[in-house]
């Protein structure tokens, strides 16, 4: 039985469904839910200037706060509280590391195929987390 559930969020509909599933699991077990959003930072090779990179990251940080507010509202409507965290870097690596350091019993995340590959069951981030996490991973479609 999970006592600490980490749910990876990004604002997508799959992410919302994963978050709602995590809340449902937590209600049944009394588990603590933490929502984590990872801002994927572009490699500096692709950014013309540090100033542009700084502006991009500032915009992403502002949007991330709005996204997390949305998830907190969903939890509050269900009478629950969630913790949240924002990180920057490679999403899969940060989700796995955060889960390990935080002693999470389970990771919940949405599946996501992009562009022409929407029919693919798993996106690259969910695939990497599923393959490399040391705790159980629930992928919600």
Domains and CATH numbers, the chain: 4-140 (3.40.50.620)
Angle of helix 13-29 relative to helix 50-77, nearest 10 degrees, comes to 50
**Cβ atoms 40, 11 nearer than 8 A:** no
pLDDT of residue 45: 53
State the 10-residue block means of pLDDT for the chain, 141 residues long: 92 93 95 95 64 80 93 96 94 97 97 49 84 97 87
C-alpha distance across the termini of the chain, in Å: 22
pLDDT of residue 47: 56
């Amino acid at each position: 039985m999970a006592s600490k559930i980490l749910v990876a969020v990004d604002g997508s509909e799959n992410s919302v469904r994963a978050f709602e599933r995590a809340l449902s699991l937590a209600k049944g077990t009394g588990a603590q839910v933490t929502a984590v959003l990872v801002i994927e930072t572009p490699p500096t090779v692709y950014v013309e200037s540090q100033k542009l990179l700084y502006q991009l990251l500032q915009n992403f940080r502002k949007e991330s706060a709005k996204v997390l507010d949305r998830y907190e509202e969903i939890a509050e409507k269900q009478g629950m509280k969630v913790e949240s965290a924002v990180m920057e870097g490679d999403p899969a690596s940060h989700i796995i590391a955060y889960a390990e350091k935080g002693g999470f019993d389970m990771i919940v995340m949405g599946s996501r195929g992009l562009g022409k590959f929407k029919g693919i069951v798993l996106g690259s981030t969910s695939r990497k987390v599923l393959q490399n996490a040391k705790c159980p991973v629930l992928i919600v479609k």
